[in-house]
Amino acid sequence: MTCGEIMFSQTTCGHRIALAAGAVVAGSIFFAGVASAQQQGPVTRPPVAQEPDRATKPPVAPKPAAPKPPAAAAPAAPSIPGAAQPTLLGQYGEWGAYTANPGGKKVCFALAKPTNSSTLPPNRPRDPAWLFVSTRPAEKVKDEVSIIFGYGLKPNSDANIEVAGGSYAMYTQADGAWVKNAAEEPKLVEVMRKGQDLTVKGTSAKGTVSTDVYSLKGLSLALDKVGQECR
């Protein structure tokens, strides 16, 4: 995948996550499906059998494929094979606000990459990681938080978000993660709007533990723009 590419695909793993931005409508933006770990981008949360409140959510998620361009420039919108290119609505600090129409359904999302990443053992190779906050009016989904880790996650393991002294468990699938307790998501997003940074921890299928720190600078403005575009 080249920098800024997004891919969409759909799978059936209970309601598999659509991973995207290297798969961007695959992390937050919803791809009309699910993108593989190599197809990074925003992704939509897959329904979980033991969580009935999520069962009605369609499996969609986007995920980015490469780091955004040099600091001075706004990140190029990831490309979506067979679909119109995502449109950059605005760049706000570390966060870009985008819109796209995969499968003719409008989606909007805020997207950022980590400002600092580390692994244990150190220097383990991985694809770019991304954090998405997506809105999909057609599915009545608003501010869905998802993460693309850049590697396949350990099966049956949870990831974790830490922000402003709080901790939020995330269930995982392939290289994506979603907030485990859907009822906590609105609170998480509100805390993120006011926070300085956010830390995400996950464990790869090979046992590597990653710690990614995301700056929240500009997120509130990016989400406001997303909200205006996808009402």
Tell me which amino acid residue 108 is: C
At residue 190, φ and ψ (nearest 5 deg) are -65, -40
3-state helix, strand, coil in the chain (%, to 5): 15, 40, 45
- Per-position pLDDT tens, the chain of length 231: 323 333 333 332 223 233 333 333 333 333 333 333 233 346 566 654 433 343 333 334 444 433 333 343 444 444 444 445 789 999 999 999 999 998 889 999 999 999 999 999 998 999 999 999 999 999 999 999 999 999 999 999 999 999 999 999 999 999 999 999 999 999 999 999 999 999 999 999 999 999 999 999 999 999 999 999 998
Token pair of 111 as six digits? 């997207």
82 CB contacts (<8 Å, ≥6 apart)?
none
Which pLDDT value is given to residue 102? Answer: 87
Task: Report how far residue 153's alpha carbon sits from residue 17's, in angstroms, rounded to the nearest whole number.
Answer: 13
Within 10 angstroms of residue 15's Cβ, the number of other Cβ atoms is 23
Cβ atoms 107, 25 nearer than 8 A: yes
Place of tokens 């938080």: 145
What is the separation, in whole angstroms, between the first and last Cα of the chain? 32
Instruction: Give the separation between CA 177 and CA 171, rounded to whole angstroms.
Output: 6
Alpha-carbon span 200 to 207, nearest angstrom: 16
- Provide the pLDDT for residue 51: 37
Which of 156, 147, 155 has its CA nearest to residue 198? 147
CB–CB of 44/62 below 8 Å? yes
Partners of 130 in beta bridges: 148
Domain boundaries, the chain: 22-150+217-229
